[in-house]
Amino acid sequence: MNHYDLISKLLEDGVLKTKKIIEAFMEIDRADFVKKEYIGEAYGDYPLPTEQGQTISQPSTVAFMLELLQPAEGDRILDVGSGSGWSTALLAQIAGPKGRVWGVELIGELVKFGSENLAKYDFPHAGIQQAGDVLGLPQEAPFDKILVSAAGEEMPQALIDQLKAGGRLVVPIQDSSWKIDSVWKVDKISETEIDKVEFPGFAFVPLK
């Protein structure tokens, strides 16, 4: 399977739908974000190991989450748990030079790995940095969109607070009773009102 075979599969499965997101998948090659020993598996629709027990997410899951997020040109976007840098690059491609994408990652080895991968593309409007003690990046808030690629134990109010009114958060949340995770789409209607929709049946590394 090659890059275009993977995209064809995601299209056939109905996971990829939006023109700008499809174009981003076409432009950003997953093989640029996997470890050398897994290059031969770069286009498989399954997670692959990166550093410190973490993974680069399954392509169909990334596509599903981006379709929920609906990033747009010019958006200010926060990518929490940026990992290999693949999601950061996809978001940067969609946001374009009028936008800005901040990737934050807790694991130092992944900050380096993700930054090196992101540097394979000309995205001066995107970068990956070490996560701090506070979830997210409040000093750069508010954001139009926030993507989280690791599952927390509860809805992260800190990230909702960092959204602008009218913004959207897509985040996995653990369900310890069923040992599966759900992806949640959270729309911030106003400073006092949010709308949440749950999509169960996923598996993510835990948010630390």
**Residue 58: closest CA among 154, 208, 160, 201:** 201
Gap between the Cα atoms of 57 and 167, Å rounded: 24
Residue partners of 155: CB distance under 8 A and separation at least 6: 171, 173, 184, 186, 196
Q: What's the token pair of residue 6?
A: 């993977």
Q: What's the token pair of residue 100?
A: 């800005």
Helix (H, G, I), strand (E, B) or coil at 74: coil
Is 57 catalytic? The answer is yes
What Rg, from alpha-carbon coordinates, does the chain have?
A: 16
Beta-carbon-side half-sphere exposure of residue 205 (alpha carbons within 13 Å) = 21
Contact 71, 77 (CB under 8 A): yes
Residues identified as active-site: 57
